[in-house]
């Protein structure tokens, strides 16, 4: 194989590898960063088992006894799928 053809082949291989790397980083980066954020799905109305939610996921406690004692601000945060920061 002569030198100009080899240079073209090498540059094509390196260009395709760089393009694939950039495309892969673009496609996979958003999913990797969203994995660290807590889920904001709506609660199905059941209390979390064992009294503690699993790590990284908040589950609202919709038990009637619990609902009587919580403030309106806390209920609003729970309804929004946020970890409550008010008593």
The tens digit of pLDDT for each residue in 18-71 reads: 999 988 888 877 665 555 555 555 444 444 444 444 456 777 777 788 778 888
Structure confidence at residue 37 (pLDDT): 53
Q: What angle do CA 49, 52, 53 make, to 5 degrees?
A: 85
Q: Could you tell me the CA-to-CA distances from 38 to 6, 45, 61, 70, 78 in Å, in that order? A: 51, 18, 16, 22, 13
Q: Could you tell me the CA-to-CA distances from 7 to 4, 16, 17, 19 in Å, in that order? A: 5, 14, 15, 18
Question: How many CB atoms neighbour CB 84 within 10 A?
Answer: 17
The Cβ-side half-sphere exposure at 33, using a 13 Å CA radius, reads 5
């Amino acid at each position: 194989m002569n030198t100009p053809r080899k240079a073209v082949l090498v540059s094509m291989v390196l260009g395709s590898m760089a393009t694939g790397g950039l495309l892969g980083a673009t496609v996979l980066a958003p999913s990797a960063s969203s994995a660290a954020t807590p889920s904001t799905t709506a609660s199905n109305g059941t209390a979390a088992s064992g009294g503690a939610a699993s790590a990284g996921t908040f589950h609202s406690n919709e038990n009637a006894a619990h609902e009587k004692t919580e403030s309106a601000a806390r209920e609003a945060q729970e309804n929004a799928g946020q970890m409550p920061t008010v008593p």
